[in-house]
A and B are shown apart, each in its own frame.
Chain A
Amino acid sequence: MSQGNESMNESEKNIGGTESVLLNLGPQHPSTHGVFRLRTLLDGEEVVDVEPILGYLHRGSSKLAEERSYTQIITLTDRLDYLAGMSNNLAYISALEKLTDVEPPERARYLRVIMVELMRIASHLMGIGFLINDLGAWITPLMHMFREREKILDLFEMVCGARITFSYMRLGGVSHDLPEGFEKSIAEFLDDFEKKIEEYENLLLGNEIILSRMVGVAPLAGERAINCSITGPNLRASGVDWDLRKQDPYEIYDQLDFSVPLGENGDNWDRMVVRIEEMKESVHILRQCMDKLPQGPYRADTDFFVRPPEGEAYGMVEAPKGELGFYLVSDGSIAPYRMGIRSPSFINLTVLRELCVGWKLADIIVNFGTLDINVGEVDR
C-alpha cells in the first residue's frame, strides 16, 4: 500500500459512496508514545481500520541476552519498559532465582517490593499524564505528574544511583541497602503524594470534558479481554479480578494487606480510574512495607558469573502494564541459551483495532493512551 506524497484520494474501501482515507499516525507523531506507527483507514472522522506497525525500536534484547552473563542481562531488562525498570529487573530476577534455586534474604524481598511499588506509581503517573495529554490538555496534568514522578526518581537515585536504568536487583537480593535518611524521605513523599492524588482527582475526575471524552468510549468486555490475554490494569478495568500479586503471590505480597481495584465495563474511563486507584493501593502497600521492614542482610552470597544448572524457568510479576514474564533456558554455561520475554504492552496491543474501529479519529489516540503501552517493551 502506497503512502506519502501521492493523491490524497487514494481509496481502499468504498463506503457509502465516499472514499476512505489512509492516514499514517506515526512513526513520528506527537502522541504515539515512542516510535510507533498506526496505519489507520478513515471514513471521514470515523475509523474503519487500524493496524499497528511495530519494530521501529527493536533492539534484539532476547538475542543480546544470549551472549551476556546472567548478571549483565539485568542491564538489558532496564531498557525494556524504560518507565518501569525496577519491575523488569524483578521479573528477570524471579526467573533467574527459580533457575538457580537461590533464596533471597527477607530484607531483600521487602526492598524489592518497595521499589516495585514505587515504580508502579511512577509508571501509572506517566500513563495517566500522557493519556490526558492525548486528550488535548496542554501538558498541565502531565507536568503535575512529572513532578511527583521526579520525587520518586529522586528516591531511586538515593538508593541505587540512577534515575531510569536502575540495574538494582541482583541474584539473591538487591545491589544496595537503603541509604541513610531513606525512611524519612519516603514517609514524606507518601504523605505528600496522598494529597496530590486528591488534587489529581479534582483536576481530572470531575471535568465534564474528560468525562464526555472517556465514559462509555471503547468498552472491552471482560470475557473478550481474557480471550485476547490482556493483563494488568486493562484487564482489571474490564472487571476481571486477576492480579498476580494476589493470584500467584511472589516475594512478600501474601503477607501484605491490599485490595485489587476493579472497573465495571472496561471503557477508557475505567482504565484510567483503575490506575488512579492502584496508585492509592501502592501507597498503602508501601506504608506497610516500611513498617514491617526487617533488619538483616540485603543480598545472598552469589557469584558474579553464575552458572545455573541446565534447565528452564519462567518467572512472572505483575508489572505496572500487566503480566511481565521472563523465560530462561540454561545450558549450564554463564550465559542463557535462550531468553524469551512476555511483554504486557505487546500483548495488550491485540485489542487496539477492536477498540478503535467504529470510533472517531480522536478516540484512537485516547484508546491507545489508555492501553498504556511502552514501545520499548513492544519492540524489545
Chain B
Amino acid sequence: MRIFGLGAIKGLVVTLKYLFRPPFTTQYPENKLDISPRFRGNNFVWYEERCTGCSSCAKACPLGIIRIVTHPESHQQVGNDYKIDVFEIDTGRCMFCALCVEACPYDALHMGGDFEKADYVREDLVITTDQLREGTKKPQTQFRPQLEDIGYQGEEELDEHEAGRWSL
C-alpha cells in the first residue's frame, strides 16, 4: 500500500541531497573540461612538408570547402610532390566530420584541438594558407592511430617527422 504524499516526498529528498553536493558543471572560461585526444576541434593542423597537393581531402569533403591551388611550375618537376600556393579551409561551413583527415594519404592534414573560435565576419572563419603554415602544430589523434600508439595525448607540438606514419 502506498501512503499519500510519500512519493512526492521521496522526490523532495532526492533534490535535497543534491543541494549539498558540489555542482556537476564547471565554470567555463576559468575551468575547462578535458577533451579527448581524438577530439575534432575547429582548427586544423597542416604540415606543408608532408602535403603533396593531391587534393584527396578536397575530394573527400562533403561540402567542398577545401580550396587547393598548386604552383604551375612545380607540375613540370619529376615526382608527384607539388608546391602549394593556396590551401584554405572555410570553417564557417565546415562540420568537422574529419573525412578530409581520413582521406589524406600522406598524414599531412590533422584535426586540431581548439574549440574557441568565434568571429564577427564570416570571411574571418576561413583558415588561410598562412594561418595553417604558422599555426600551432598540435594534431589530434583522430584517424591517426600511429600517434595513439606512441602514447601521444594531443598536448605537445609535433613536427612533420613525428606526425606521420613515416618520417620524411
Contact = CB atoms under 8 A, between A and B. Distances in A.
A binds B: yes
B36 A203 contact: no
A208 interface: yes
Interface residues of B, number: 34
Contacts of B106: none
Interface stretch (A38-46, A152-160, A354-362): A152-160
B13 interface: yes
A76 B31 CA distance: 33
A199 B142 CA distance: 36
A72 B36 contact: no
Given A162-B40, A175-B143, A208-B5, A72 B11 contact: no
A202 interface: yes
Interface in A70-88: 71-72, 74-76
A68 B2 CA distance: 58
Contacts of B103: 304
Given A176-B38, A199-B14, A75 B95 contact: yes
A203 B11 CA distance: 4
B95 A160 contact: no
A257 interface: no
A27 interface: no
A185 B36 CA distance: 13
B62 A161 contact: no
Q: How big is chain A's contact interface, by range?
A: 35 or more
Contacts of A72: 60, 62, 99
Given A165-B95, A199-B14, A159 B4 contact: no
A209 B37 CA distance: 45
Nearest to B33: A154
B145 to A, nearest CB: 8
Nearest to A68: B62
11 contacts: A75-B97, A154-B36, A162-B96, A165-B96, A167-B98, A179-B36, A203-B10, A206-B7, A207-B7, A208-B5, A304-B102
